[in-house]
Structure 1
Amino acid sequence: MADGGRRRQRAFIGSFTAAGGPGVVTAAVAEHSGALTVLSSADGVLDPSYLALSPDGATLYAVSETAEGAVAAFRVKGETIELTGPPVPVGGNGPTHLSLFAGHVLTANYGSGSVSAVPVLADGRLAHTPSDLLRHSGSGPHERRQRAPHAHQVQPDPSGRWAVSVDLGTDSVRVCTLTDGRLGLHREIALRPGSGPRHLVFHPNGHHAYVVNELTPTVTVCRWDPATGSLRPLAEIPVLPDTPAGDAYPSGVVVAPDGRFLWTATRGEDVLSVFAVETDGERLELVGTVPCGGHWPRALALSGGFLYVANERSGDVTWFTVDPGTGLPERAGAVGVAAASCVIFG
């Protein structure tokens, strides 16, 4: 415990064990510098590529991004974490993302194009089976990547009324309900064919959302109506100032707590893009790009005024200070974590 009984902030880092990653890493966070120091690791789950923390910080959840597809719960115990039980099969393969919603863990199952709902018990442990599985349908024009649905992310909207899933394979965003453990499709919103949406983040005002697209290096600005659960695409903005010379696959997207800036990461180009956000959240202006501090930036996170990047192929998590006037990040340090895939804080 910190002085005065406050819990020290921790970072939790996911990684691909199949590529040599240590599993789930627990790290200390230096309050003033943002520096991470590895404390421990837990390798009881295969390919824990994405993580989510319970609101009370007592339980950490991880997907197992494998062909079998599973989700696991860890009890957080200071500098270590401990599995509460065996991973729970989610009924879909290749889960890439998870979130907590209405007393359940939701997983986005990329391989099978579906969303699973697993009940969370009173003590934070998981039920033995999902309460429901919502299968996506459709395809897109990309010959190799869009032959079938590929749910890449699922999360609650800021109002807590809706679950929103992003599907790379069908170029669409689905708005869902969860009632008595059952998932229901409320509406599906089409994005530009071939864009390959990957992740979505909401503006702090709760009325705009930004979708980063993997198959084209762009971000789609949308208006969100929480009352009706509707998403309306407004504009699609390039994340790079010039046409990329080679592969360019955007991955992560985060928005500042005050809503003034938005950042994206692009693999291949290995850069972070900085956007100024208009005060109403409806317009983005590309400020510039900076190197991501490693190779193949898979995920971004903000904490304590610092921007963090999980660089998968260089095997590190890099942190940046952020210029408050321009939003431009400046590299401040890095910690080695093989096959790093995400970083969260709590």
Structure 2
Amino acid sequence: MGGEESRGRGGGRRAYIGSFTSAGGHGITTAAVDAPTGALTVLSATDAVADPSYLALAPDTGLLYAVSETEQGEVAAFRPTGEGLALLAPAVPSGGSGPTHLSLAGDRLLAAGYTSGTVSSLPLAADGRPAGPARVLAHRGSGPDPERQERPHAHQVLPDPSGRWVLSVDLGTDSVRVCTPDPATGAPRVHTETALRAGTGPRHLAFHPDAAVVYVLHELEPQLTVCRWNPEAGRLEPVAEVPVAPTGASGAPRAYPSAVVVSPDGRFLWAAVRGADTVVTFSLADGPGKPRLAGAVDCGGRWPRDLAVDPSGRRLYAANEHSGDVTWFDVDPLTGLPRAAGSVAVPAATCVVLG
């Protein structure tokens, strides 16, 4: 799988776009990626699972995994076909309600349950489908925002580059937990918990390619926290905060950062900011631990929920949820600033993954 089956019409690569079916989305849209221009051409869509808001692609098998961000919470695997996707097996419970993120860690699938404030781990069967039962870690705690932080809200879970640790980002408790899998059951167990500034609502994080620096993006305040990462000890240490949007400007819409990605060569960092509806660029020329604001551009739509950078680092893609489209950008190789090059309509788009 992976090789030829992950290629779209005309030999180009594929992009997979998640969406909220409950808001008029088509489920998971498959699009061909034109190599010379980065342009997307929609091939097909499947609504085999409800509200597949976040996706993850297995690079070795080519299988695509999706959450079903519903109250019951489910995960499912899809196999690429000629111009689309086929559900590998019926969706299974994710182990938490309202799952917003998933990732692969060896032979297990990890899912973050936002509504339930949980992180779960599911084994993968020989054919790659997720199998139960899920092993669940329940987060504990709250934050000062009574509407958004009344209890834990796990928003992201992913392994570190070494594969030894699992990091879970919790918007409700203003913290990042570093976990290890139970050797007998695979259940995540808390190793350390890093407290971040109260009320900032951490949402997502990204590793720098050197694996020694982590960037945590906050949703409730437009901030980026730069952290040192010690993979030997499994410890995350905040060292600096950098604003990603103006705060308190008169008449300006409130900013809700959503996604952070780092260029493959480690020279640039991009953050999507909803409300302001921008893509913000940081230069890392002064070092991974010293992001410097380079500029901001319009996201090409409204409410950019996710970003993806292609393996070459030459193009960036933004999934704009409220305007229902995916915009692609050409990246200036000197400044890192993206320039909008086109867009494709995808109703209620929430996530974009490049195959």
Give the alignment's TM-score, normalised by structure 2.
Answer: 0.94
Q: For residue 269 of structure 1, what is the amino acid of its counterpart?
A: A
Aligned equivalent of 1:102: 106
Aligned equivalent of 1:224: 229
Deviation at 1:23, TM superposition (A): 0.2
Q: For residues 1-346 of structure 1, what are the structure 2 equivalents within 5 Å?
A: 1=4, 8-130=12-134, 132-178=135-181, 179-180=183-184, 181-241=186-246, 243-244=248-249, 245-303=252-310, 304=312, 305-346=314-355
Inter-partner Cα distance in structure 1 for 2:278 and 2:130: 37
Inter-partner Cα distance in structure 2 for 1:246 and 1:34: 31
Deviation at 1:242, TM superposition (A): 5.8
**Which runs of 5 or more structure 2 residues have no equivalent in the other structure?**
none
How big is each residue's C-alpha offset from its partner over 1:274-295, in whole Å with a ceiling of 9 and x where there is no partner?
Answer: 1111453111111111100000
SS of the residue 2:22 aligns to = helix
Percent identity of paired positions between Structure 1 and Structure 2: 59
Q: CA RMSD in A?
A: 1.5
How big is each residue's C-alpha offset from its partner over 1:10-48, in whole Å with a ceiling of 9 and x where there is no partner?
Answer: 110000000000000111000010001111111010000
Q: Relative to structure 1, is the Cα distance of residues 226 and 259 closer, same or farther in structure 2, using a 3 angstrom cutoff?
A: same
How big is each residue's C-alpha offset from its partner over 1:139-171, in whole Å with a ceiling of 9 and x where there is no partner?
Answer: 001121001000000011111111111000000
Inter-partner Cα distance in structure 1 for 2:71 and 2:348: 18
**Does the Cα contact within 8 Å between 2:203 and 2:218 map onto a contact in 1?**
yes
**Does the Cα contact within 8 Å between 1:260 and 1:279 map onto a contact in 2?**
no
Inter-partner Cα distance in structure 2 for 1:191 and 1:7: 45
Deviates more, 1:196-205 or 1:76-85: 76-85
Q: For residue 239 of structure 1, what is the amino acid of its counterpart?
A: V
Inter-partner Cα distance in structure 1 for 2:194 and 2:82: 42
Q: Relative to structure 1, is the Cα distance of residues 7 and 226 closer, same or farther in structure 2, using a 3 angstrom cutoff?
A: farther
Deviation at 1:246, TM superposition (A): 2.3
Deviation at 1:343, TM superposition (A): 0.3
Deviation at 1:78, TM superposition (A): 3.1
Deviation at 1:138, TM superposition (A): 0.2
**Does the Cα contact within 8 Å between 2:12 and 2:35 map onto a contact in 1?**
no
**Does the Cα contact within 8 Å between 2:245 and 2:255 map onto a contact in 1?**
no
SS of the residue 2:177 aligns to = strand
**Does the Cα contact within 8 Å between 1:57 and 1:76 map onto a contact in 2?**
no
SS of the residue 1:18 aligns to = helix
State how many pairs are aligned: 343
**Does the Cα contact within 8 Å between 2:222 and 2:247 map onto a contact in 1?**
no
SS of the residue 2:103 aligns to = strand
Inter-partner Cα distance in structure 1 for 2:283 and 2:48: 41
Deviation at 1:91, TM superposition (A): 2.4
Give the alignment's TM-score, normalised by structure 1.
Answer: 0.96
Inter-partner Cα distance in structure 2 for 1:278 and 1:78: 42
Inter-partner Cα distance in structure 2 for 1:114 and 1:129: 15
Q: For residue 329 of structure 1, what is the amino acid of its counterpart?
A: P
Q: Relative to structure 1, is the Cα distance of residues 234 and 277 closer, same or farther in structure 2, using a 3 angstrom cutoff?
A: same
